Structures are given as C-alpha cells and as structure tokens.
Chain A
Amino acid sequence: MAACRYSVVLIAFALLVCDSTCATPKNDEGDTAEKTESDIADDVTLAEAVHTQKSDAVSQTQAGRTPNPETPESKQKESLRQWEATEVTVDTNADVQSNEEAPDRRDAEVIDSVPPPPPPKDQFQEELVIRPLQSGDIYASFQFRTRWDTDFFQQGRKVAHYRLFPKSLGQVITKFSLRELHISFTQGYWRTMQWGQPFLSAPPGAELWVWFQDTVTDVDGAWKELTNVLSGIFCASLNFIDSTNTVQPSASFKPLGVGNVTDQRFLRYAVLPREIVCTENLTPWKKLLPCGSKAGLAVLLKSEKLFHSSFHSQSVHIRPVCQDWQCTSTAWELRQTLGVVFDMHTSGQSRREWSLFKMFSRTLTEACPLASSSKVYVDITDNSQGELFDLTPATPTLSQAVVLGDRRTYSVYDLTTPEPFGTLRSLNVLLKWKTTDAADMLRPLLHGERYVAGYGLQTGEIHTLIYNNHPYRAFPVLLLEMVPWYLRLYIHTLTVTSKSRENKPSYIHYQPSKDRLRPHLLEMLVQLPPNSVTEVTVQFERALLKWTEYTPDPNHGFYVGSSVISALVPSVVAMDTNSTKEHPLFSSFFPCKEESAYFVRVYTEPLLVNLPTPDFSMPYNVICLTCTVVAVGYGSLYNLLTRTFQVEEPSPGLTKRLANVIRWLRGVPPL
C-alpha cells in the first residue's frame, strides 16, 4: 500500500518535472552555452590584445571592471594611497613576455655559462584576511595555497620528488586516483545573519567529498579505503564513513577544478555532523604546510586561542587547475583554509579592540621563506574615511577584490617586504573601534535554516527555510538533504511553499533509504521568488534501532547532517570571469562563469533528533532481570503447587473423529 502510494507520488513528481521543463522556456541552456563561448572568445581576444597592448577592447573591459589604477588621474588622486597591482595587464603581460623572451634569455645565459635557476614548478602563497564584523566580533581567515605543475597520473612515471606539496597527500592522490578532494572540519555554526557570508562555508562536523578519476572501477571500495587513510592523516574518525552516510549526489557538488567530463558516478559525499574538532586535528593540518607552524602566518595558529572562539573551521581542498591562460595542461592545487571567529564576550573584553596579539597571542615577525607571496588583508570597505575604526599600523597599500558579488577594499600588508614590520621587527595589526554599539548589517542575500518540528518519539517533521533577501531578483537554488535511514521520510508529505503558495521544484531527485545500508537523498532545484522565504517540509517516522546500534550515549540524540544549498546569487557588481587572472586567494576559489551571478554554497544547521531509546541503565536492567526470574521461576513453582491435576481420557481415534464429523454434518449427536 505504502509502496504504491510512493510510486504514485513519484509519478506525479515526474509529471511535474516534465510540466515545468516543458512549460517554462527559459533558454538557459542556449544562453549559457553562448555565454561561455563568447567568454572564451573574449579571453582569447583579451590576451591577444594585451599582447599587442593596443586595443580598445582591453580598456573597455578594464573600465567596466575596476577603476584603472594605471591611469594618471587615479594616481594623482591617490597620491598617498598606492593601489596594489592586481590588474590583468601586468600579469598576462609578464607571462607572455616571459614566454616570448624565454629562449632568448636562455641563449644569453648559456653563452654566459651561468646555469639559470630552474623555474619553480611549485609555488606557495599564504594569506590572512581579517574582517571586522559589525557585531564587534572579528573574522580571521587564513588561506594557504600550494600549486604544483605536475601530473600525478602520467604513464610509467611515479612522482617521487616532493618539494612544497605534502608527500602524504600526493601519495593519496596517486594511490586512489583522485580527481578532487575536499575535506573540512568545523566546530560551531556560522551565523550568517550576524556575520554575513564566510569566504568558504562548511557544515559543523566533518565533511568529505571526493571526485575520483574515471579510470577507477571500484569507486565504493576506493572510497572506503580512502576514508580510512584520511582518518589516519587527519586524526579524525573519518573511518565512520560507510554506506549509511555516503551519498552520490545527482546534481550538486560539481567539480571545482578543471576537467571536461563530469560523470556523477565518480562523486562521493559524506558528512559526520558529530565529529569533534580539536588540537589533534589542527596538528596534522599544520604539518601539511611547507613551513609548518615555524614561520610565516602559521605561527599564529595556536590551538588555545583558535579553539577559544565561536566558530572554527579548517579545510583542505585539492583540485586540478589551469597552468596558464590557455589551459592545455593542468597543475595541482592544494588549498588549506582556516577560518575563525573570535567573540568579543567570550574572550573577556569589554572594549571593541582587536589586535593580532589579542586574537592569537602572537605577532608576525616574518613571512614563510618558501612563500612567493605572503600578505595580510584587512577589510576596510565600510571604513574608507576611518569613521568606524582605527587601523594601526597604517599601510599605504590598498587592494580591491570582488568577493561574493560585492567589491571590497582591503588594506594590504605585504610580509615579503620589511616595511610592515617597522622598527620593532614585528607586525601587530590593531583595530580599534570608535563606536561601541553594534551597527546593523546588510542582510545576506541567501540564508538557510532548518529545524525539527513535532512532538513525541514516533513522528516528526523537518522544516527547511531558505531566505531570498534580494528585493527584486529571483534566483535558483539546489537543495540537497541527506537524512539517515533511521528517520523514515514520508516523501508524499513533501511540500515546497514560498509566499504561502506552492512552489513546484523544476527538478527532483529522490533516492529512498535502505535500512542499515544507505541514507535518504533528496535533491531539488527551486526557484526562489524575490524577497521571500521558501519552506520545504517533509514528515518522518523514527525507526527503532537494534540495541547494539545505539551509541554509548544514546540519550544525547542522533545528528542529521546539514542540508546543502547551492545557489547562483545575483551579484551587485560584475564578477570577473577570467579565471587566469591573479586574484587574492580568498576571492578565487569558485570558478565564475557569468558576470551577473556568483556561485555560493550555504549550509543549514545540523539537526539533533531523539530516537526512542530503551533504558540502558543498571537499575532498570536489574529490575528486568529480577522480574523475569520471579515470573519464570517463582511463577511456575507456584503454579505447580497450587494447580489440581486430573487424568484426561485418551483422545479418540481417527475413525471415531471422522465419524463424529459426519454425524455433526448430518445433525446427529456425536458418539
């Protein structure tokens, strides 16, 4: 009966999908295709134009993007402030020139018989971004990037010489034929409504998603082994990832690196919402850095301070990226990020005043000697005239970057130069607020929430709320929910409403769970109307576990991982679609395909659900045992003693019974 109902519902959904796809001609496919083509064409022309250095197209695109720092007017205006050269002209120019001049130079040097240093095939960059939050808290985000121009999968050759890239991860990539690996460990929940969007969001607990190369035959086996290996590398309980918490999303989690083919069969996604994050996870993470925690920005990573915070998230992302603007060959990128939010109240200060020393109990004295760039950025977008806070030491260098659809201004301290360290030989960035009250923050355009409704231990309802705070633009989001098997979803009760009207998802993928084998997977593409809240509800029933399946602390409840919201949010300023341009690290993670929107992934809260739990305590079990003994032992004895026995007549034979049946049919009294 139930199965039948499900199938009917599914058919209905299929019809819905078909309807919406047929009925709404969006031309998205055609548009994007055209756009990407034109983009590529644009890039090519751009590069050529830059090469010749005489083209209107270049100046137009530049004018459209950022105030051109190279023009004399801006230089005159900003006589005190000097803009950092992050423009495309400089870099591609240098690239092209070096490409062109390389043979000449080499010839010249051969003549001089001085061996040139081999071009570094790997490079390391480090970066710290400090964003003061309106609430008085402060967000510090570390980004470390190691890039290596090598190919782990070349035929007949093993990569054996590692310089900056950590060998442990390189071997993992080779052994398991990984295409991409993304792992994050997070403690605490990112409060989007108070803090805005993070540079890179992550769900509480541990999250792991991996793209395997399409040469892998046994993906599930490789995935299981990989989780075991990673649990050893990162000192985490990743070995608890098995088929009951792994899914294979059908549309979410597209690869972040380059690659022409994507087949979702090679993707695995798992999340462990219960995973604790502490020093033992930070230690191996720091060991992956070329300088360890000995020099550079990583000296600030002291666990006593990092974990004394409202939010802590560390992650490792490995992906192939383009080596150059042509993108004919790939390089491997290892990106390690660590984000932390220090709370004004928990750190026990009443004044809104932050410094590196207060946050990390260390100051900076040098850059990592192996790093090709080492920078500290402080977000001063809201503080252009110094009206909100004072920043010392003042730095003349400014930089602009388009982050999450908005153009932000940053003060930059370049640690590879001696200037920021001053006479004291140490850099202690100090931020002193002038106001004491928390100002209102611009509400983030996209925001997600989730909670469990209902009472009792039998059924319940999961509510997921997705907010679109844009005043006039609608945009699509892809929602992914992974629910463990012991919450049995009633998928026929699924409703999607926005502005109190039904909002038909244009795509639904539902994979029902199997008990003790796999979780529920629900993916849907929803168009969020402008300025609205979209609510997704689905009812569930709580299953009874076997008694060995309960955790040692079952009364704590069971966690359900965050749902994942991937969205194309309309951006305020034009995004930069040129992926070869040198961006600051924090603004260059998600590849951007169109100018009008940026991609963002948002996570909701994880859920904590109580399951019907037997009483595992000792008194209860003693009582149970005693009662059993009384019932069986004493009860039967009492029965024996008090019952009176009678000898029963032997039962009649078969013929007699048959005869009686016939007599009964005839209506005659039995023999």
Chain B
Amino acid sequence: MATCGSHCHLYLKIFALLCLHLLPVASNYVEARASQLFSSGHTNNWAVLVCTSRFWFNYRHVANTLSVYRSVKRLGIPDSHIVLMLADDMACNHRNPKPATVFSHKNMELNVYGDDVEVDYRGYEVTVENFLRVLTGRLPPSTPRSKRLLSDDRSNILIYLTGHGGNGFLKFQDSEEISNVELADAFEQMWQKRRYNELLFIIDTCQGASMYERFYSPNLMALASSQVGEDSLSHQPDLAIGVHLMDRYTFYLLEFLEDIHPASQSNMNDLFKVCPKSQCVSTPGHRTDLFQRDPGSVLITDFFGSVRKVEITTETINLTSPIVQQEDKHMMGEPTSEAQSYVDQLPVAEIIHQKPKRKDWHPPDGFILGLWTLILLVFFKTYGIKHLKHIF
C-alpha cells in the first residue's frame, strides 16, 4: 500500500498519427466530401421520439416509435441523446405472447425493442406538459439528465411523434391533446432559446400535415404521413400478436432507414420519396419552406446519425504527475474506535414499550371543568337567576 506511490511512475503518452495519402486525382473528390461533411454546421445530434397512445390495440404506435429509436441508435446517436417517451408498456404487457419484445414485421422477424432499450418517459409520464417541458427545457431542477433535452444552438434535433390525431391536434393517452399552434409556439420558443440548429419533425398520424401547417420558426423541416382529410393507415396484421404491428408510413420509413449506414450519401429528397401513395394509401407530405438549405444537400445522417467530429493531434503529451492514491493514508489513520452492531430487525419489547409521542401541553380536563363552573357560579351570584327567565 505504502510502496505504490513511490514505485509507480505513470507516464502516459498518446501518439496519434494522421496518415493521409492523398493522390492528386482523388483530392478534389475528398475535398468535396469533406466540405459536405461540415456543411450542416451542427456538432451534436438529439432525438425526441414520442408514442402518445395507450392500450394494447395501439401496439403499432409503440412499434413505430421503437423502430425509429432502433434506427437512430444504430446510426450512432447514444441513449443519452435520445429522449424516448412511450405511453404504454407493450413489451411486457400481459397480452404479449412474446414478452420483452416488440415486433415490426409479420412472423416476428424484426424485434425493434432490443435487449438494451432505455425508456426515459413511460406510462403516465407521457403528457403534453412533460413533452413541452422537455422541448423547451423548463424542467424541475432535480430532473435527471437522461430525461432532459440538453441541446444547444449547434444541435440537430429529430422529433418523431406518433399517435391518434385529427385536424390540428394530436391526442395524448386518450385524455388530452396538443394542438398544432401549441407545437409551433414550442418550436419558436426553442429557437429563441437557441436550443436547436436545425430541426426535423416527422409525424405519423391521421391528418398529420395539419400539425406542421402553423410552424413559423426558421430551420424547420417537417414530414407527415398523411394530408389533411386523410387517414394514416396501419400495416402488417399479425395473427399471433392479434393486432397490427406498424403503420404504413413508418414501416416503409424503417425499410428505407435500414439501408442507411453512417457514411450514406442519401439526402432528404430520398426521404421525401418514401412511401408513395401506392404503398401508403395516404399521401405523405413535407414542408421545407422554413428550411435554409436545399433538401438535396441535407444528408439523412445529419438528423438520424450522430456527428463524431474528431480532432487529431500529432503532438506528444506527457502526463508527468503520477496519480497518487491518498485515500489509503486517511483510511488507515483514523479507524473509528467505537464498535458498531447490527440493529435488531423486530425489537418487540422496544416497540411495545416505546413512549407515545409527546403531545402539546394541554391543561387537565378537571381544571377546565372547574374553571367553567367557577365562571358560571360567579355569573349567577352576581346577576341572580331571575334575569334569565326569558331563556327558561
């Protein structure tokens, strides 16, 4: 113990060698790639994925959200940067014949729940209030980091919503709803608080296009599964599970995203082509007028992937000061002299004989009785009984 500090000399050297063999022919291409890499101007990625529906027959909404979760996680956004809200527990629902799984394809082909999911808001916590608080960052101070959207003005945020909606609103848990105006105002507040750089909004619900009609903040791009007046339809009924597994739009979105890898060059125009009316039955819509860049130059991975901006140093860094473990000295120096013992788990005698709680002081009942008697006596002595005859 004592010898460790003097014997260990810890020299850590970090060598990072950057070897770039750029052929003159390829240099233009690489430069173009590199300029594209940093063109979006963001340094971190966040995702808020919300399923707003409760009850088993809305299995497909949970599966929708989880399939997007699976994709963004696969493309590199860590769990700490994903706020996942699921209004009901489908995976461990008693009606689920295969517990701890949520499938997106028929015949149980693709389990989107995975083995290491982290749900941040679940059950009754998924409310309009909590959703807006997460977006605008107005949370109680003791809220843990995993439940916060800690984005800044260099963040690209993906917001995905699914549930039951109508013209201009989206229902949360059958008990409340968020309107398109509220949502637009929340995004404006985010913009004014510099909480995002660019924001991609995707919604899979009936009349989804009505939800992004009222947006007015800059740098927003929005997609919806259906136009106003259209229903968003489900897909993939499964006999074993007994309900539909996915909605059409998200199903084809997942299919599209499964082909994306972190270095893919697919852009937003490809995303707009996902699920044409022949597949979706509804007409997916999109809105780009608030967005500054050309959608053709925006990579899918700008929102669905995670930026890993690596800066490589070629210099050697010496960590000369060895780490000294000081705790040992303290530990051995002052052992508490008092012997401690385990507490009796059910000290019957102690419980029975414990003193009842002291109440506030109260004059004894006899004293109060006597006082009243005295008062009455004095009264009758002074005035006599005859003055009270109209009472009796």
Is B242 close to A, CB under 8 A? no
Q: Which residue of A lies closest to B3 (CB)?
A: A115
Is B16 close to A, CB under 8 A? no
Cβ contacts under 8 Å, B335 to chain A: 328-329
A283 touches B116 (CB 8 A): yes
B118 touches A283 (CB 8 A): yes
Looking at the assembled complex, report how far the CB atom of A645 sits from the nearest CB atom of chain B, in whole angstroms.
Answer: 46
Cβ contacts under 8 Å, B140 to chain A: 228
Complex Cα distance A552/B122, Å?
13
B115 touches A232 (CB 8 A): no
Query: Is the interface on chain A under 10, 10 to 19, 20 to 34, or 35 or more residues?
Result: 35 or more
A280 touches B115 (CB 8 A): no
1/0 per position for A498-513, CB-CB distance to B under 8 A? Answer: 0000000011000000
B175 touches A616 (CB 8 A): yes
Looking at the assembled complex, report how far the CB atom of B113 sits from the nearest CB atom of chain A, in whole angstroms.
Answer: 7
Cβ contacts under 8 Å, A277 to chain B: 92
Is A327 close to B, CB under 8 A? yes
A254 touches B343 (CB 8 A): yes
Is A303 close to B, CB under 8 A? yes
Looking at the assembled complex, report how far the CB atom of B269 sits from the nearest CB atom of chain A, in whole angstroms.
Answer: 36
A235 touches B118 (CB 8 A): yes
Given A32-B347, A260-B338, A525-B352, A283-B117 contact (CB < 8 Å): yes
Q: Which residue of B lies closest to A280 (CB)?
A: B119
Which of B21-29, B98-106, B186-194 participates in binding chain A? B98-106
Which of A45-53, A56-64, A154-162, A534-542 participates in binding chain B? A154-162
Is A258 close to B, CB under 8 A? yes
B143 touches A593 (CB 8 A): no
Complex Cα distance A476/B326, Å?
49
Looking at the assembled complex, report how far the CB atom of B355 sits from the nearest CB atom of chain A, in whole angstroms.
Answer: 11
Q: Per DSSP, are chain B's interface residues mostly helix, strand or loop, or mixed?
A: loop
A187 touches B92 (CB 8 A): yes
B348 touches A568 (CB 8 A): yes
A28 touches B348 (CB 8 A): yes
A26-43: which residues lie under 8 A (CB-CB) from chain B? 26, 28-32, 36, 40
Given A161-B325, A259-B340, A303-B100, A232-B146 contact (CB < 8 Å): yes
Complex Cα distance A262/B147, Å?
35
Which of A139-147, A304-312, A352-360, A658-666 participates in binding chain B? A304-312
A258 touches B341 (CB 8 A): yes
A32 touches B344 (CB 8 A): yes
Is A469 close to B, CB under 8 A? no
Looking at the assembled complex, report how far the CB atom of A160 sits from the nearest CB atom of chain B, in whole angstroms.
Answer: 9
1/0 per position for B337-354, CB-CB distance to A under 8 A? Answer: 111111111111111111
Query: Is the interface on chain B under 10, 10 to 19, 20 to 34, or 35 or more residues?
Result: 35 or more
B331 touches A233 (CB 8 A): no
Given A225-B142, A328-B335, A235-B340 contact (CB < 8 Å): no
B123 touches A159 (CB 8 A): no
User: Which of the residues A150, A235, A330, A591 comes within 8 Å of B119, measured between beta carbons?
Assistant: A235
A279 touches B342 (CB 8 A): no
Complex Cα distance A566/B145, Å?
37
B100 touches A306 (CB 8 A): yes
A507 touches B175 (CB 8 A): no
Cβ contacts under 8 Å, A154 to chain B: 330
Looking at the assembled complex, report how far the CB atom of A477 sits from the nearest CB atom of chain B, in whole angstroms.
Answer: 8
A304 touches B99 (CB 8 A): yes
Given A151-B331, A251-B351, A278-B100, A303-B343 contact (CB < 8 Å): no
Is A239 close to B, CB under 8 A? yes
Is A590 close to B, CB under 8 A? yes
Is A423 close to B, CB under 8 A? no
B344 touches A284 (CB 8 A): no
Looking at the assembled complex, report how far the CB atom of A42 sits from the nearest CB atom of chain B, in whole angstroms.
Answer: 13
Looking at the assembled complex, report how far the CB atom of B85 sits from the nearest CB atom of chain A, in whole angstroms.
Answer: 12
1/0 per position for B24-68, CB-CB distance to A under 8 A? Answer: 000000000000000000000000000000110000000000000
Looking at the assembled complex, report how far the CB atom of B100 sits from the nearest CB atom of chain A, in whole angstroms.
Answer: 4
Looking at the assembled complex, report how far the CB atom of A249 sits from the nearest CB atom of chain B, in whole angstroms.
Answer: 11
Is A625 close to B, CB under 8 A? no
Complex Cα distance A326/B340, Å?
8
Q: Which residue of B lies closest to A283 (CB)?
A: B116
Given A235-B120, A616-B175, A279-B100 contact (CB < 8 Å): yes
Is B174 close to A, CB under 8 A? yes
B349 touches A26 (CB 8 A): yes
Complex Cα distance A506/B350, Å?
12
Complex Cα distance A478/B346, Å?
8
Cβ contacts under 8 Å, B92 to chain A: 187, 276-279, 307
1/0 per position for A447-483, CB-CB distance to B under 8 A? Answer: 0000000000000000000000000000010100000
Complex Cα distance A20/B351, Å?
13
Looking at the assembled complex, report how far the CB atom of B377 sits from the nearest CB atom of chain A, in whole angstroms.
Answer: 28
Cβ contacts under 8 Å, B344 to chain A: 32, 36, 254, 593
A569-605: which residues lie under 8 A (CB-CB) from chain B? 579, 590-591, 593, 599
User: Which of the residues A20, A21, A327 comes within 8 Å of B340, measured between beta carbons?
Assistant: A327
Is A322 close to B, CB under 8 A? yes
Most buried by A among B100, B116, B144: B100
Is A669 close to B, CB under 8 A? no
A229 touches B327 (CB 8 A): no
A507 touches B342 (CB 8 A): no
Complex Cα distance A567/B353, Å?
18
Is B336 close to A, CB under 8 A? yes
Is B7 close to A, CB under 8 A? yes
User: Which of the residues A40, A110, A121, A260 comes within 8 Å of B3, measured between beta carbons?
Assistant: A110
User: Which of the residues A149, A232, A579 comes within 8 Å of B342, measured between beta carbons?
Assistant: A579
1/0 per position for A534-563, CB-CB distance to B under 8 A? Answer: 000000000000000001110000000000
Is B151 close to A, CB under 8 A? no
Complex Cα distance A643/B163, Å?
52
Complex Cα distance A551/B126, Å?
12
Cβ contacts under 8 Å, B142 to chain A: 224-225, 228-229
Cβ contacts under 8 Å, B101 to chain A: 304
User: Which of the residues A224, A276, A302, A507 comes within 8 Å of B89, measured between beta carbons?
Assistant: A276
Cβ contacts under 8 Å, B351 to chain A: 251, 478, 507, 525
Is A257 close to B, CB under 8 A? yes
B4 touches A115 (CB 8 A): yes
Is B364 close to A, CB under 8 A? no
Complex Cα distance A251/B343, Å?
12
Cβ contacts under 8 Å, B356 to chain A: 14
A29 touches B122 (CB 8 A): no
B348 touches A525 (CB 8 A): yes
Given A280-B122, A553-B54, A599-B345, A157-B4 contact (CB < 8 Å): no
Is B255 close to A, CB under 8 A? no
Cβ contacts under 8 Å, B354 to chain A: 251, 507
Complex Cα distance A590/B346, Å?
11
Looking at the assembled complex, report how far the CB atom of B386 sits from the nearest CB atom of chain A, in whole angstroms.
Answer: 27
Complex Cα distance A262/B354, Å?
13
Looking at the assembled complex, report how far the CB atom of B326 sits from the nearest CB atom of chain A, in whole angstroms.
Answer: 8
Complex Cα distance A282/B348, Å?
37
Complex Cα distance A276/B100, Å?
12
Given A118-B4, A304-B98, A284-B349 contact (CB < 8 Å): no
A553 touches B1 (CB 8 A): no
User: Which of the residues B3, B99, B326, B343 comes within 8 Å of A116, measured between beta carbons?
Assistant: B3
Q: Which residue of A lies closest to B90 (CB)?
A: A278
Is A373 close to B, CB under 8 A? no
B1 touches A237 (CB 8 A): no
Given A161-B327, A304-B99, A552-B174, A330-B117 contact (CB < 8 Å): no
Given pairs A118-B4, A568-B345, 15 additional interface contacts (CB within 8 A): A26-B349, A36-B341, A118-B1, A228-B143, A231-B144, A259-B340, A260-B341, A276-B92, A279-B100, A302-B115, A304-B100, A308-B100, A525-B352, A568-B346, A593-B344
Between-chain CB contacts (< 8 Å), 6 pairs: A26-B349, A36-B344, A115-B3, A161-B325, A328-B336, A525-B348
Task: Enumerate the 6 nearest inter-chain pairs by beta-carbon distance, A residue then B residue, closest first.
Answer: A232-B144, A29-B349, A28-B349, A591-B342, A278-B92, A552-B173
Chain B interface (Cβ within 8 Å of chain A)?
A: 1, 3-4, 7, 54-55, 89, 91-92, 98-101, 113-120, 122-125, 140, 142-147, 173-175, 325-328, 330-331, 335-354, 356
